[in-house]
């Protein structure tokens, strides 16, 4: 698997925002389709490397170019002006720049067949591109954040009820930092094995609350203020991709753990049903007994990986159906 990193834009006085592309030595496609990935982390933490690695390998083996992008992190910027704007710029870069750059490596890329895939907060970014004039030919949403007017987003998060209260002075140290475009951890980063010979651990790792950025995020999630603090202007419709759903929205596949305590699976069910009612090609996989980030650390022989394969198959189908 070949790998190359590019800077697709600069922010905050010249801070580079990077993405990394992976591709294989061969492809069944004359010109390779592209899957653009966005990591999770509540729009506050994470990086382009904080995504499940097995689907990247499978997509590369299937002939895709896979691109994972960093983006500006809240709360120094709002959700609309930071993550969503950067997602649009990363998408435009993949459409306009990637094919020329990879041609130098002998890789032919089809800029008309760009798809998006996101995890949690990253799924919001993948979906928000559905409103572009030339949207992705297909979208995959892994346990994504959406339907922001639902009461869930302003309520305390029960799973964090036992989180200790932290002093405001410590939490506000996050604002001493300039805009960050990646951090070393993510809500969806797979926990590392304790010994080199162990298989990767599955699911989400516990947060490091000695880090002010992590502590700020989890404190806001605990008390239900997270969305209000990152949207900033209160315009939930502007940042909610479901608000842009129409009969012209790209084909979309949702995958969500039924036991997810961080984002309820009913939100993906409702979004999927809305697209179906609009006549959009839509699929959904509800994973029994699966929590948030269930796919991290999964290997092909794990039973739950069958649901990830359904998402990959959805993208493969739309390589041929996309125009």
Q: Specify whether the CB–CB gap between 137 and 318 falls below 8 A.
A: yes
* Per-residue pLDDT, 169: 93
Contact at 8 Å (CB) between 265 and 258?
Answer: yes
- Res 210: pLDDT: 86
Residues 150-181: pLDDT tens digits?
Answer: 999 999 999 898 888 899 999 999 999 889 99
228 Cβ neighbours under 8 A, 6+ residues apart? 154, 234
Sorted by sequence, the CB contacts under 8 Å of residue 43 that are 6+ apart come out as 73, 74, 79, 82, 83, 121, 124, 230
Out of 12-21, 43-52, 306-315, pick the least confident: 12-21
Determine which of 70-74, 110-114, 201-205, 219-223 has the lowest per-residue pLDDT on average.
201-205
As a whole number, the mean pLDDT across the chain is 91
What local confidence, expressed as pLDDT, does residue 259 receive? 96
pLDDT tens-digit map of 54-75 = 999 999 999 999 999 999 999 9
| Contact between residue 240 and residue 270 where contact means Cβ atoms under 8 Å apart | no
Q: What homologous superfamily does CATH list for 2-321?
A: Alpha/Beta hydrolase fold, catalytic domain (3.40.50.1820)
The pTM of the full predicted model, rounded to 2 decimals, is 0.92
What pLDDT does residue 137 have?
96
- Nearest 10 degrees: Cα torsion 300, 304, 308, 309: 60
Angle between the 85-96 and 121-128 helix axes, to the nearest 10 degrees? 60
Kindly state the average pLDDT of the residues 174-195.
67
Percent of the chain with pLDDT over 70: 92
Cβ neighbourhood burial of 269 (10 Å; 0-12, 13-18, 19+): middle
- Tokens for 282, please give them: 């839509």
Reduced to 3 DSSP states, what percent helix, strand and coil does the chain have, rounded to the nearest 5? Answer: 35, 20, 45
pLDDT digits (tens, 9 = 90+) for 267-306: 999 999 999 999 999 999 999 999 999 999 899 999 999 9
Mean pLDDT (whole number) for 10-25: 91
pLDDT of residue 15: 84
Check whether 189 has a pLDDT greater than 50.
no
Instruction: Return the pLDDT at 208.
Output: 78
- pLDDT recorded at residue 322: 57
| Distances 58 to 66, 91, 234 between C-alpha atoms, Å | 10, 21, 40
> From CA 154, how far away is CA 181, in angstroms rounded?
26
The pLDDT assigned to 206 comes to 63
Token pair recorded at residue 230 = 């990152």
- Strands, DSSP E only, in 165-309? 252-257, 282-287
* Domain ranges across the chain: 2-321
- CB distance 19 to 66 below 8 Å: no
Q: Average pLDDT in the 120-139 region? A: 96
pLDDT at 201 over 60: no
Please check whether residue 277 is in contact with residue 307, taking contact to mean a CB–CB distance below 8 angstroms. Answer: no
Nearest to 287 by CA among 270, 314, 268, 312: 268
Mean pLDDT confidence for 240-266: 97
């Amino acid at each position: 698997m070949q790998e190359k990193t590019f800077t697709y834009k600069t922010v905050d006085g010249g801070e580079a925002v990077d993405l990394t592309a992976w591709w294989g030595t061969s492809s069944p496609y004359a010109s390779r389709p592209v899957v653009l990935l966005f990591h999770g982390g509540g729009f506050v933490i994470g990086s382009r490397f904080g995504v499940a690695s097995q689907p990247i390998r499978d997509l590369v083996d299937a002939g895709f170019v896979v691109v994972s992008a960093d983006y500006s992190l809240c709360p120094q910027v709002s959700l609309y002006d930071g993550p969503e704007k950067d997602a649009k710029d990363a998408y435009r870069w993949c459409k306009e720049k990637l094919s020329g750059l990879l041609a130098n490596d002998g890789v032919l890329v089809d800029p008309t067949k760009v798809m998006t895939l996101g995890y949690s907060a990253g799924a919001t970014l993948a979906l928000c591109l559905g409103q572009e004039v030339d949207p992705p030919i297909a979208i995959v949403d892994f346990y994504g954040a959406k339907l922001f007017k639902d009461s869930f987003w302003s309520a305390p998060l029960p799973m964090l009820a036992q989180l200790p209260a932290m002093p405001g002075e410590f939490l506000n140290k996050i604002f001493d930092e300039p805009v960050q475009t990646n951090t070393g951890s993510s809500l969806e980063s797979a926990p590392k094995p304790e010994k080199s010979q162990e298989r990767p651990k599955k699911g989400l790792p516990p947060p490091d609350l000695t880090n002010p950025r992590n502590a700020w995020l989890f404190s806001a999630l605990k008390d239900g203020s997270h969305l209000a603090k990152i949207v900033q202007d209160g315009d939930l419709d502007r940042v909610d991709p479901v608000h842009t759903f129409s009969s012209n929205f790209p084909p979309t596949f949702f995958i969500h753990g039924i036991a997810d305590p961080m984002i309820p699976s009913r939100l993906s069910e409702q979004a999927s049903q809305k697209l179906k009612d609009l006549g959009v090609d839509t699929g959904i996989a509800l994973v029994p007994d699966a929590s948030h980030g269930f796919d991290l650390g999964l290997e092909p022989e794990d039973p739950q990986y069958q649901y990830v394969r359904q998402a990959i198959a959805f993208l493969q189908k739309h390589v041929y159906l996309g125009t």
